[in-house]
Structures are given as structure tokens and as C-alpha cells.
Amino acid sequence: MNLKGFFNREKNQDDLLRTVSSKPIPKHIAIIMDGNGRWAEARHLPRTAGHRQGVEALREIIKTSVQLKIAHLTLYAFSTENWKRPESEIRALMSLMVEFLKKELPELHENEIKINMLGDMQGLPQDAVREIQNAMDVTRHNQGLHVNIAINYGSRMEIVKAVKKIAQDISQSVLTPDDIDEHLFSQYLETRSIPDPDLMIRTGGECRLSNFLLYQSAYTELLFTDKQILWPNFTRRRYLEAISEYQFRKRRFGGIDVGEGV
């Protein structure tokens, strides 16, 4: 191993961290962690090996998010459509999540990280429900990074549930139709206490949202990696580079900069 090259890379990462830290940091980053299976298949490994390597990438991303003092990190871990995958892969994914929470919870708690879940716990294995609930209970009062795990989550389902609850409240005279505006509607979503994402990153080369935070991402900056950058090789440096690219973008929210034309 070329130790000189290794230490130079570490130094360069520290320089990049300082550069990124010196500019406005996104309050909320959402990530579609795509490509675990393709990473494994390219190495003639079972898909489950890709998911396990993806957990290693996740540790680095959480650590870097804490260093940057990011407020919210939302991770698309398992969608409502992922139930279509082979049963063996689903079992492995759930087991890996249970293992991660059991192993990492003490350190997450020590670092004031708060765990939250988006999605429907119904249908999840009981051991997964138990570990998720325990992680949320243990970290409930933590004031550091909020890690929101979207599991058995689908944005269309979330929106439909919100509409049903609003309709129920109208039928019970809790609301009137005139009360409904964007702010009120957002309070019926699972992200009611979370600001909309500033930046959404998707690894693996696909350029779509795949039913993730559709309502919340109206003005989110989107970043899609090249197809060679799969979630297991989404490194700390690539994460910092993604945030750095976000920092160079101009967010107008439908307006214009002073001096610009329409």
C-alpha cells in the first residue's frame, strides 16, 4: 500500500470537509441508496453482500453528517414496491437492519443522534418492529442529527393517507375545506416535523425519485450520480463533493436573482 498516497487522500478529504463546512450546509439531505445488488453482482457475490457493504457506506455518511452538523438525514431503506423482490432478499434486508440497530444504537445514542421512522410498520417482521421502536424510544430526546429511516414507505401511499385523514376531520367538523392550504396539508404527512429536503442524492445512475418524498421535494435540489457510483462505493469524499456541488447551485424557489431576466 502506498502510505504517502493514502495520507494525501486523507488530507485532501480534511481540506474538502473544511471547505464544505465554511459554506451554508443543507439542513436536510435525503438519499436514495441504490445499487447494492448491482455492486454485488459485478463482483460475483450474492446480492445480500451488497446490502451488507451498503451498511458500511451508511456508517461513513452518518458520521460525516454529524461532523457537518446537518439537522436531518432521510434514508430510503425499503419502499412499498420492494416487497416484489425475492423473499430471501427481503428477509436478509430486514435481518441486516435489525443487526445494524442492535450493534450501532449505543454509539448513535452517545452521539445524540435521534432515530425516526417513516412508513408503515404493519407487515414488517416483529423483530424489525421491536428494534425500530426501541431505537426511537431510546433516542427520543436526542438533540443531534435526526436520522429518518423510510422503510415500507411510499410517497403516494403517504399522500393518500393524508387525504383520507383530512376528509375524516372535515366529516367530523374538525376542519372545513377552506382551512386546507399547503401548510395544513403538510401537517398530515409523516414528515410533519421535518423540513423539506434541501438536497436529494440518488446513487447508481437512475434519474428518478421512485415514489420517495414526492410532495416534499417540490424545490429540492436533485443530484444523480453516475451509474458506476453505487451505494456501497458512495464514499465520504463523494458525499462531501455532492454537498459542495449543492453549495454552488442557486435556489430561486420560482423567483429570479436581482439583475436577471425572466
Residue 94, in any domain of the structure: yes
Domain region containing 80: 26-154+195-247
Question: What is the domain count for the chain?
Answer: 1
Residue 17, in any domain of the structure: no
Distance separating alpha carbons of residues 257 and 212, to the nearest angstrom:
30
Buried b (16+ CB within 10 A) or exposed e, 148-157: bbbbbbbbeb
Residue 47, in any domain of the structure: yes
Catalytic residue among 12, 82, 179, 211: 82
State residue 220's pLDDT score: 98
As beta bridge partners, residue 223 has 201
Q: pLDDT 10s per residue in the chain (262 long)?
A: 343 443 344 557 788 999 999 999 999 999 999 999 999 999 999 999 999 999 999 999 999 999 999 999 999 999 999 999 999 999 999 999 999 999 999 999 999 999 999 999 988 999 999 999 999 999 999 999 999 999 999 999 999 999 999 999 999 999 999 999 999 999 999 999 999 999 999 999 999 999 999 999 999 999 999 999 999 999 999 999 999 999 999 887 776 664 544 4
Other beta carbons less than 10 A from residue 174's beta carbon: 11
226 is catalytic: no
Residue 172, in any domain of the structure: no
Residue 147, in any domain of the structure: yes
Distance separating alpha carbons of residues 191 and 159, to the nearest angstrom:
11
Catalytic residue among 8, 34, 36, 134: 34
Residue 200, in any domain of the structure: yes
8 is catalytic: no
CATH of the domain at 240: 3.40.1180.10
Residue 230, in any domain of the structure: yes
Residue 160, in any domain of the structure: no
Look up cell 366529516; give the residue. 171
Cα dihedral across residues 47, 93, 109, 243: positive or negative: positive
State residue 3's pLDDT score: 35
Q: What one-character DSSP code corresponds to residue 249? A: S
